[in-house]
Amino acid sequence: MKLIYITVLALVLIACNPPQRNCTDFKTGSFEFTAEINGETTTTSFFRNDTLEVENFNGKIDSSSIKWVNDCEYILKNLHPVNTAEETPLLIKILTTSEDRYTFEYGTVGNAQKARGTAVKIK
């Protein structure tokens, strides 16, 4: 009977550990993000430093300014928007990290609808 209580207690303690979030490890560097868009898998590569993110998507290069809210959240604002949708900043929140990747939530500022993705650090 003691073994059951110890096992349950161990499982509860393990389940209560918060996810790893070493966000500062991912503030700068080169990354790739793969997503499925309209049934096709696409990969976006991007480089980020403390204040700028440069993205390459399907051969199109775009740049955005970065404003860090805290170590795990930042706001991206497109520097050269071509339409009104690109003028709205994006809020990115890093949810979990591992050795070479992070899972994040993103959406336009002021909009409750969010999507999730995973980025892999390549440098």
- Asked if residue 46 lies in contact with residue 53, where contact means CB atoms within 8 angstroms, the answer is yes
- Structural domain boundaries in the chain: 20-121
User: What is residue 2's predicted lDDT score, i.e. its pLDDT?
Assistant: 57
Pick from 29, 59, 34, 58: which is nearest to 46 by CA? 29
Please give the Cα distance from 95 to 103 (Å, whole number).
6
Task: Output the six-digit token pair for 38.
Answer: 């309209």
Pick from 69, 72, 67, 68: which is nearest to 19 by CA? 72
User: What is residue 18's predicted lDDT score, i.e. its pLDDT?
Assistant: 61
User: What is residue 58's predicted lDDT score, i.e. its pLDDT?
Assistant: 84
CATH architecture of 20-121: Beta Barrel (2.40)
Q: Name the pTM for this structure.
A: 0.79
Q: Are strands 101-108 and 52-57 parallel, antiparallel or unpaired?
A: unpaired
- Asked if residue 30 lies in contact with residue 47, where contact means CB atoms within 8 angstroms, the answer is yes
pLDDT along the chain (123 residues), means of 10: 54 58 92 84 91 92 96 96 91 95 92 91 85
Please give the Cα distance from 26 to 97 (Å, whole number).
9
